[in-house]
Structure 1
């Protein structure tokens, strides 16, 4: 487990990289604007604690500028795949990107059901690099 070094483009190598919370903090919060990176990480941890309260099966992947060599990332993109049978008002707020951005500034969330084709399509799409056709990047799967 662990997070590999960035490519010459400043991206993770194309793959899904399994990483613990300790791996993420060590690798992604210790360079560039470390204060900003740690602040974003702590907001993510707060969000994760809220998710865990629900005892629902889910998987989390991290994407966006936080998982690049960019010194000052704008936010953390969170891909959340969850059990479609679970639903209540508090959970709905945790999967609504507009509410997440308000309650957890610095996070952006994209959700899909865990056991369906949209998970594969979403992950495949997330490997693309914005405005750079043909360039693919790695993602981090958070191991809890």
Structure 2
């Protein structure tokens, strides 16, 4: 969805996300970053050994995957929504589709519906092949702006 509230991703969006990451110990622990490609914002969890949940199969812990997708949703709002927007998750539902191997995890967010105070997003987490997601999530975000706080 592209409109005045959610303009296309740009360098200012990346700067807002980077600033947020630099001030958050959780985002640093996740090794979270964002970039722009032809499809918009692309999020990355850079793999680290502390992300492993099952050492027998070297899979990333499901809580790390779910947290990453939730952070992707918040980053989409923070990055594209502008500097006066704050957002809080209302609900997060994550479906785990296959094990997340011990490598970087990528994420995409799609805004499904935006109302005055709520935004609904669909997130996809994948590794080497975007067509084979490791997890999908639906996230509802409560918006707070200067006029709705």
With the length of structure 2 as denominator, give the TM-score of the two structures.
0.30
Relative to its length, the structure with more helix (as a share) is 1
With the length of structure 1 as denominator, give the TM-score of the two structures.
0.31
Which of 1 and 2 has higher RCO (CA within 8 Å, sep 6+)?
1
